[in-house]
Structure 1
Amino acid sequence: MQVILAIYLKSLFISAVLVGIISGLYMLGTISRNYDKPKIIRQNKLFDVLLIDILTIPVLSFAVLSVIVVLKSR
């Protein structure tokens, strides 16, 4: 049981880092392209990306978990 939890936490960390890097690059590009737009529009886009991250990290975590389990079973 503890082994599965340790693998899940590792996959959760991997997916959080991966999603954080991709979101950071996306937001950096968005901010640089839309710098002339009002602050509220840029802030709304940031909140949208954060909500997408919150929903994506657990799903991606289970996908990474399955890959790690398959690799450990070999």
Structure 2
Amino acid sequence: MSAPISNVRPAPDKVLTDIVDYVLNHKVDSALALDTARNCLIDTLGCGLEALSYPACTKLMGPIVPGTIVPN
């Protein structure tokens, strides 16, 4: 007989906690950095919306399980 599978989540590793601490605690003082981040976000959203006009791309964004219907 096999052992039961544990559903206890292990503690996150050091690298992950360091990244989270940096993201939560680092203050960005540079207007240029904020403008660059804003432009990257706008560009990413624009590319994603443009990709919707290509069937090969929309096929990749479809549901993982065939026949899945996601309301709203």
Q: TM-score range by the shorter chain?
A: 0.3 to 0.5
- TM-score, with structure 1 as normaliser: 0.35
- Answer 1 or 2: higher relative contact order, Cα 8 Å, separation at least 6: 1
- Give the structure with higher Rg (CA): 2
- TM-score, with structure 2 as normaliser: 0.36
